[in-house]
Amino acid sequence: MTATTTAPGSADTAAVRRAISSTPRPTRPGPLSAALTFGWRGMLKVKHVPEQLLDVTVTPVMFLLMFTYLFGGAIAGSTSAYLDYTLPGLLVMSVLFTTVYSGVSLNTDLTKGVVDRFRTLPIWRPAPLLGSLLGDSVRYVIAGTVIIVVGVALGFRPDGGVLGAVAALGLVVAFSFGLSWVFSVLGLLMRSPNAVMNAGFMAIFPLTFLSNVFVDPATLPGPLEAFVDVNPISVLATASRSLMAGAPDGTAIVVSLAVAAGLAAVFLPLTTRLYRSR
């Protein structure tokens, strides 16, 4: 032990010391600037891990093709008539699937330790959460746009035109802002990103199928029809359909937004509290 010499490290100590001493202390950023920086982080992730986006868009596109060509004729008489019915609903499905990833990425941050870093920074405390929402919204818009573009390629020509389609997308994204906090809470409570993903899809999958996204509930048995009618996803799909058709259904739109606001009112404070204490 006494005769050994220390192996030289390759880190250049002089450069390290220069780097340490050369820091002027900048003034801390404002809340908005910090949140926007976290939004930029979300964007970088979309850039580096585009597969994640693929995961959530492939399933709805697959459903779109499958349902339109396999069942479209049987359900609605013709594939083009069914496309008109189901596409606005698939838009809902596609974007809502993406919200699960808000919880997954939050959980990833938590289990990887990077949240500890953020929480020891002198920044406005909700900035990481609001910032990731900004990043998420980009994902929502991409997921929604993909489904609309594929629909148009298959012959979908909504009466509401481009404006109707954009309005429907906007409404669905707004709803997702509310819903994403549910998955954020899940993301803060569960042990692994995979668990969050499984739990998220376990909830959202049946809820999407037990809605009017694929079939007109009028043909369903009474109790099921009653459930489908009150399912918020049905209401949102109805609102999306009405906007795309150029005949906005005021009630469905207001109820959708109210549900989103309700979810946010409950789960946003819960998220910030959990985020602070974990």
Q: How far apart are CA 44 and CA 181, in angstroms?
A: 21
Q: In terms of CB distance, is 158 or 193 closer to other proteins?
A: 193
Q: In terms of CB distance, is 123 or 169 closer to other proteins?
A: 123
Binding interface with other proteins (CB under 8 A): 1-3, 6-13, 15-23, 25-29, 33-34, 37-38, 40-41, 44-45, 48-49, 108-109, 111-114, 116-123, 191, 277
DSSP letter assigned to residue 69: I
Contact 38, 124 (CB under 8 A): no
Q: In terms of CB distance, is 24 or 222 closer to other proteins?
A: 24
Q: In terms of CB distance, is 9 or 223 closer to other proteins?
A: 9
Q: In terms of CB distance, is 104 or 179 closer to other proteins?
A: 104
Minimum distance, C-beta of residue 277 to other proteins, in the bound complex (Å) = 7
Closest CA to 173 of 256, 271, 117: 256
Minimum distance, C-beta of residue 94 to other proteins, in the bound complex (Å) = 23
Amino acid identity at 132: S
- How many CB atoms neighbour CB 24 within 10 A? 4
Q: In terms of CB distance, is 3 or 153 closer to other proteins?
A: 3
Amino acid identity at 111: T
Minimum distance, C-beta of residue 149 to other proteins, in the bound complex (Å) = 27
183-210 burial, b if ≥16 CB within 10 A, otherwise e? bbbbbbebeebebbbebbeeebeebbeb
Report in angstroms the alpha-carbon separations of 204 from 134, 208, 209: 22, 6, 9
Minimum distance, C-beta of residue 128 to other proteins, in the bound complex (Å) = 9
Minimum distance, C-beta of residue 196 to other proteins, in the bound complex (Å) = 14
Q: How far apart are CA 224 and CA 2, in angstroms?
A: 80
Minimum distance, C-beta of residue 194 to other proteins, in the bound complex (Å) = 14
Q: In terms of CB distance, is 100 or 239 closer to other proteins?
A: 100
Closest CA to 252 of 177, 167, 183: 167
- How many CB atoms neighbour CB 150 within 10 A? 18
Minimum distance, C-beta of residue 48 to other proteins, in the bound complex (Å) = 6
